[in-house]
Amino acid sequence: MNSVGQGYAAAPVPRRAAKPEVWLWIAQRASAALLAVCVLVHLFTIIYAVRHGLTGEAILGRTRGNTAGLTFYIVYVLAIAVHAPIGLRSLCQEWLGWRSASLNWFVAALALALFVFGLRAAWAVFVAPV
Amino acid sequence: MKNDYRARNHPAWWAFLLHRLSGLALSLFLPFHFLALGQALQGEARLDSLLRWTEQPLVKFAEVTLLLLLAAHLTGGLRLLALEFLPWRDWQKSLLAWAAGAALAVGLAFALAL
């Protein structure tokens, strides 16, 4: 047997739980893929809204009771609440040198705040009665 | 090689900087956006008064800038996803130009619609 590599068993790879950084990387990419669709729809929605009336009455007339719109923006808000804090975390680490555990608490609080206030905004526009 | 401006003066580095700064700007804008939309909880008139405030030229300019940044973050992000997840092809070298062009087109469409 003279081929290189033959006759050797692959070294066993120890099974370890993925590090939090790996999960954050996956979450950042998965939310990015979702946001790619959401932002595109949002951009078209913005241009549609601008062309079809930007008064409170016109906007709420189109949105109130629109279940599909509400569902879409709940998904959008969720993706933002995952994506933006992870991006800001990288920025804080690389540009500010903030690498202590307090950064993770800050990022988690930011994610929660974005989610709650984003849902509140979606509720206000799509559900709440005038 | 020293990590100075010579290492950074490259289209890919400028794309990285634009992606990061646009992400930062959008993150800073989001809380205000959510709070503004939340005004609808207090009724149509409250939302209306806010929308009238956005009629000012400076606010309109800020809106176009933000939309341009959102489009740039989207196209720049799509470029990154393509680079990371698709097998390397020569056409990916042109992604920077496509990303910039698409972002500008969206910004222009919005500016013209305003």
Cα separation of the two ends of chain A: 81
**Residue A16 maps to a domain:** no
If 0-12 CB within 10 Å is exposed, 13-18 middle and 19+ buried, where does residue A69 land? Answer: middle
Supply the angle between the helices A56-63 and B44-53 in degrees, to the nearest 10: 120
Q: Which residues of B touch A40 (CB under 8 A)?
A: 74
- Enclosing domain of residue A121: 21-126
We report the CATH number of the domain holding residue A114 as 1.20.1300.10
Residue of A nearest to B48 (CA): A56
Cβ of residue A96 closer than 8 Å to a chain B Cβ: no
Distant-in-sequence, close-in-space partners of B16: CB < 8 Å, separation ≥ 6: none
Out of B23, B38, B70, name the one closest to residue A121 (CB).
B38
Domain count, chain A: 1
**Residue A86 maps to a domain:** yes
Out of B26, B40, B48, name the one closest to residue A55 (CB).
B48
Q: What are the tens digits of pLDDT across the range A26-76?
A: 999 999 999 999 999 999 999 899 889 888 999 999 999 999 999 999 999
Q: What is the ipTM of this complex?
A: 0.87
Q: Which CATH architecture has domain B5-113?
A: Up-down Bundle (1.20)
Q: What are the tens digits of pLDDT across the range B53-80?
A: 999 999 999 999 999 999 999 999 999 9
| Residue extents of the structural domains in chain B | 5-113
User: If residue B39 lies in a helix (H) or strand (E), which one and from where to where?
Assistant: none
Higher pLDDT pick, B88 / B71: B71
**Residue A41 maps to a domain:** yes
**Residue A119 maps to a domain:** yes
Check residue B65 and give left, alpha or beta (phi > 0: left; psi -120 to 50: alpha): alpha
**Residue A11 maps to a domain:** no
Residue of A nearest to B39 (CA): A124
**Residue A42 maps to a domain:** yes
